Amino acid sequence: MYKDSFLTRRRAVKLGFGMLAGAVGAVTTSKAIDLNNQIQALDNPNRKFPVNGKLSLKERATAKGLIYGAAIQYSQLSLDREIATNVKRECGMLIPEWELKWFVGKQPLRPSPYTFDFRAADWMANFAKTHGLLLRGHTLVWHESLPPWFEKTVNNQNAKRFLEEHIKTVVQHYAGKIHSWDVVNEAINLSDGRSDGLRKTPWLKFLGSDYIELAFRLAAEADPQALLVYNDFGLDYDTSKDEAKRNAVLKLLERLKTKGTPIHALGIQAHLTANEAKFSPSKLRQFLRDVASLGLKILITEMDVVDKKLPVDIKVRDRIVAGVYEDYLSVVLDERAVIAVLTWGLSDRYTWLSHFQPRRDRAAVRPLPLDANFRRKLAWNAIARAFDQAPRR
Ligand code: XIL
């Protein structure tokens, strides 16, 4: 799934620059020189990212009728005062990174087929309420983070009951407190070979392709106030793979809208890759326009920038990563249907990419707006500049 897309991109990059930088007495090869040229092309030493004033990302987003937020884990937010302080300062929205999935971490939401454990998510919902943050739910229906009991328990006969009970119970529990739900996550996977592009998940197997519409209808019934979102990744670049996925997602959204499904927005995860040069502003703009023309809003839901193929030098890496943030957001925020920019984490101290996309030279990855000591990086400047330059909603 999301790792596959990075694997594909890795094939596009012949030799990890990080390997080269880390190796002593590395022998330069034409490949490395080629990659070095690519990196040089990505880096502009004269690009400075100046920012006016001291406003936070939350304040700059709010000034334009936008929302900025971040995904954080309960264990981080409840135990690390520094992340809590910075979330309060920088974020207008909080997304529990684990706590509203079926089964992640030490206190999973679904410990057994017959129980729900809301303690961690309730703590985060209370944190959000106490500090005036909006709360976003991620995610009701996904093929990942399923409980260990799922495979031996859920089947053709009872899958609909499990889906109905999960969505009704969880969405009703937070009814009126949630800005938006990722109702269905990552349901498109073209490499599964279906003509409709749907990923072969247990939900598809047991319920057929109507499971997506059913999930949205159940969520709408349980909380008519929540914005209901379809969320996916791999929609960003001018590659044949991303273009095909954009088309498949658009067709899914059109099918859902034609059936009168209560779907309100598309979530674009935007897990970007710093050394991916194939970025077409015009193609991305067209996709956003096509989605908006269905009457849907758009949220950038999980933004971060993988820096594993960049030089180890922090100044160069941070400048390239910041350029990716600003170049992408300057396109995206031109589309007025875009209502939120959410990063998947706030500080490099806590990023899933440390495990999912580590650097070969083992240097700490730097994908997010704040560094591991919560200092604002050029990526922070880039996001701030994008908000400052965005048209008001
Ligand atoms: C990731 C979490 O950040 C990890 O901690 C967890 O181990 C796996 O899931 N797309 C999504 C998110 O929709 O739910 C994923 O989050 C990252 C990719």
Which sequence spans correspond to the domains of the chain?
1-41, 55-389
Phi, psi of 354 (to 5 degrees): -60, -35
What pLDDT score does 33 carry?
66
pLDDT of 22 > 70? The answer is: no
Indicate the SS3 state at residue 43.
coil
Closest atom of ligand 1 relative to the 182 alpha carbon: 13
Ligand 1, residues 299, 356, 357, 368: which to mutate, most atoms within 8 A of Cβ?
Answer: 356
Q: What is the DSSP letter of 191?
A: G
- Atom 3 of ligand 1, residue of closest alpha carbon: 352
Active site residue 302: yes
What pLDDT score does 12 carry?
42
Residue count of the chain: 393
> Comparing C-alpha atoms, which of 183, 194, 67, 75 is closest to residue 133?
67
Report the alpha-carbon distance of residue 258 to residue 262 in Å, rounded.
11
What pLDDT score does 276 carry?
86
- What token pair was written down for 217? 């209808």
CB contact burial 119-156 (16+ within 10 A = b; e otherwise): ebbebbbebbeeeebbbbbbbbbbbebbbeebeeebee
- What token pair was written down for 210? 């109507």
Report the alpha-carbon distance of residue 337 to residue 269 in Å, rounded.
16
Indicate the SS3 state at residue 356.
helix
206 Rama sector, left if φ>0, alpha if ψ -120 to 50, beta otherwise: alpha
pLDDT of 10 > 50? The answer is: no
CA angle 279, 230, 73 (to 5 degrees): 90
What confidence tens digit (pLDDT) does each residue in 317-345 have? 999 999 999 999 999 999 999 999 999 99
Active site residue 186: yes
Report yes or no on whether pTM surpasses 0.75.
yes
User: Do residues 38 and 102 touch, judged by C-beta distance below 8 A?
Assistant: no
Closest atom of ligand 1 relative to the 231 alpha carbon: 13
Indicate the SS3 state at residue 23.
coil
What confidence tens digit (pLDDT) does each residue in 247-271 have? 999 999 999 999 999 999 999 999 9
Q: How far is the CA of 357 from the centre of ligand 1 (A)?
A: 12
Query: 20 versus 142: which is more confidently predicted?
Result: 142
CB contact burial 7-29 (16+ within 10 A = b; e otherwise): eebeeebebbbbebbeeeeeeee
Ligand 1, residues 1, 76, 97, 349: which to mutate, most atoms within 8 A of Cβ?
Answer: 97
What pLDDT score does 41 carry?
72
pLDDT of 24 > 50? The answer is: no
| pLDDT-derived band at 32, boundaries 50, 70, 90 | low
- Of 90, 186, 276, 326, which is the active-site residue? 186
**CATH of region 55-389:** 3.20.20.80
- Atom 18 of ligand 1, residue of closest alpha carbon: 2
Question: What residues does ligand 1 touch, defined as CB less than 6 Å away?
Answer: 2, 97, 185, 269, 302, 352
DSSP string, 153-185: H--TTTHHHHHHHHHHHHHHHTTTT-SEEEEEE
* Strands 227-232 and 265-268, sheet pairing: parallel
- What token pair was written down for 120? 């961690």
